[in-house]
Chains A and B, each alone.
Chain A
């Protein structure tokens, strides 16, 4: 781990059905110092949310197999765990703001790493302020 170990208390749940993209996103989060949790579909994601209270950010793809897509998952998480910050990524260009939970962020795939890491950092400072 090359990042800041002080951030290990801050968990990020990464939901992505493609294993390569999942591992790459996990590496990115871990490199930045966060504890990364992985899920390949919404059901796995909800299970991680239930078991890991340290998860503060949901970082999810939209298009994935299973009972819920990433947008439905985002709304579900917003309802059940309101303080969790939500970041949605997708290869679909047309995700309208109305489809997203309030004050969530959207990044198109392939997503730029720097703004994404800034978004993680923003979430950390908001969490610290509480």
Chain B
């Protein structure tokens, strides 16, 4: 060796690399093993020393894979005989450490247990890096014969062989485990593909289908059928095939994937299934194109939801426009019959208010129907003072939306008139509103005022009269009669509950 401890030249290896090689054996801190125990037994017997060790030297500590005569498995490197310096020589023999300047100050030499003799044979990995020694030690100075030295070297090679064997075995086990894991992963992937409720399919480079999972077969009605004669385009409705040819194919031809909404057709039933379709190039490990993979998700439910939402939006807009048309009619009708703008303004705001409150009842129910009692109560609410001047009574009767709106407007006119000229204009006045079934789906509503001032037939008829006499009855396919009796105004509406069909509910005003 060119290097001694006196000149400061470092070891002939990269310590990090050496440590990495040592760690690759995965032997540090492993339990005792008989193979190595027998090895140190032999070393001690051959060399006649009380101590023998298979010593693995890491950067800052040493680990004894096997030892006799020491009783410990690890020591720090500072006090070590087998420090990295030792690793520099194939075979190192120190007959008397107390006389060797390299070791005489070592605490284990200078103090207890007063080690004197050391002989170590290097453990060199196949990469050529030293990772430890097989060494023997004694408390007395001694020499080794050539035979003992050869045996110690032999034992070191044996130890190295054992370590290599273990490392190879470990690597093989690891590779095997990795292969098993890959196998398991593959099986899982196959299961995911097979059992997914999404469509999985594969086509060759010519677009011929060679694989479909069960969900795919179900989706397109090819459960038991031979798929090898089918092409990608065959799976789509006629109207989408041009998109496949013009848009999708050129895109994946550029090795881009393509995703979009398309429609599958069922080969067996012709049923159409809207899908979110994703198609991409399938490449082998070398990157060569082997075909195309496709995943498709049935989006029927989403489509249905979209359609339903659009329908609701359309319906809302329709209702709004119809309501606005009613507002328009109320405004024009009011101005036809009023003398001044102020009069018209007040009448309009009252009528629109009645319309709005009736709308509130309708929007608060899920059925587009309104209870007659609710409509009456709501229409009269602004006139009810809590003095018990109204008595409302009748069975539950459902009204369609237009009926509820029409009746609300009529009741508003009656109440407004009563407040100005009728029962509500006098403290003693009272109003009865009664309704009941007459025959089958026919019913009658009556408005009876009492206790008001003496009634005379009005000279001028306004929109209110028109509404009560001509407009409200047709909502019920019935008849209305407004009577200016001397004892109080009476109004009677007879009609029929419409059987609410869809068209009528949609019309909703």
Contact = CB atoms under 8 A, between A and B. Distances in A.
Interface of A: 17-24, 27-28, 40, 63-65, 91-94, 108-111, 113
- When A and B form their complex, which 6 residue pairs have the shortest distance between CB atoms, in order from nearest? A91-B321, A24-B329, A19-B474, A110-B325, A110-B328, A109-B325
A113 B329 CA distance: 11
Interface string B90-107: 000000000000000000
Interface string B304-339: 000000000010011111101111111011001000
A21 B503 contact: no
Contacts of A28: 332
Contact of A109 (B321, B402, B406, B475): B321
A18 B327 contact: no
Contacts of A40: 474
Contact of A110 (B327, B471, B472): B327
Interface in B480-509: 501, 503-504, 506-507, 509
B327 A17 contact: no
Name, among A19, A20, A40, A111, the residue most crowded by chain B CB atoms within 10 Å (CB to CB). A20
A113 B333 CA distance: 13
The interface residues of chain B, by DSSP majority, are classed as helix
Contact of A17 (B320, B467, B473, B507): B507
Given A19-B475, A65-B503, A108 B321 contact: yes
B379 interface: no
B466 A21 contact: no
B333 A24 contact: yes
A63 B319 CA distance: 11
A65 B406 contact: no
A91 B322 CA distance: 6
The interface residues of chain A, by DSSP majority, are classed as loop
Contacts of B471: 19-20, 23
Contacts of A109: 321-322, 324-325
Contact of B409 (A20, A64, A91): A20
Interface string B440-472: 000000000000000000000000001100111
Nearest to A69: B503
A19 B472 contact: yes
A20 B318 contact: no
Interface of B: 314, 317-322, 324-330, 332-333, 336, 402, 406, 409, 466-467, 470-475, 501, 503-504, 506-507, 509
Contacts, number: 78
Nearest to B504: A65
Given A23-B466, A24-B332, A63 B506 contact: yes
A113 B332 CA distance: 10
Given A20-B406, A110-B328, A64 B503 contact: yes
A63 B475 contact: no
Nearest to B336: A27
Given A65-B501, A92-B318, A109-B325, 14 more contacts: A19-B473, A20-B333, A21-B326, A23-B471, A24-B328, A27-B333, A63-B318, A63-B507, A65-B503, A91-B319, A93-B314, A109-B324, A110-B324, A113-B332
Contacts of B402: 17-18
Contacts of B406: 19-20
Contacts of B503: 63-65
A21 B317 CA distance: 18
Contacts of A92: 314, 317-318, 321
A92 B471 CA distance: 24
Name, among A21, A22, A24, the residue most crowded by chain B CB atoms within 10 Å (CB to CB). A24
A116 to B, nearest CB: 12
A5 B471 CA distance: 26
B477 to A, nearest CB: 9
Nearest to A23: B471
A64 B507 contact: yes
Contacts of A110: 321, 324-325, 327-328
Contacts of B326: 18, 20-21
Contacts of A24: 328-329, 332-333
Nearest to A63: B507
Contacts of B319: 91
A24 B509 CA distance: 14
B336 to A, nearest CB: 7
A27 B463 CA distance: 12
A125 B480 CA distance: 40
A17 B476 CA distance: 12
A39 B322 CA distance: 18
Contact of B507 (A19, A23, A65, A113): A65
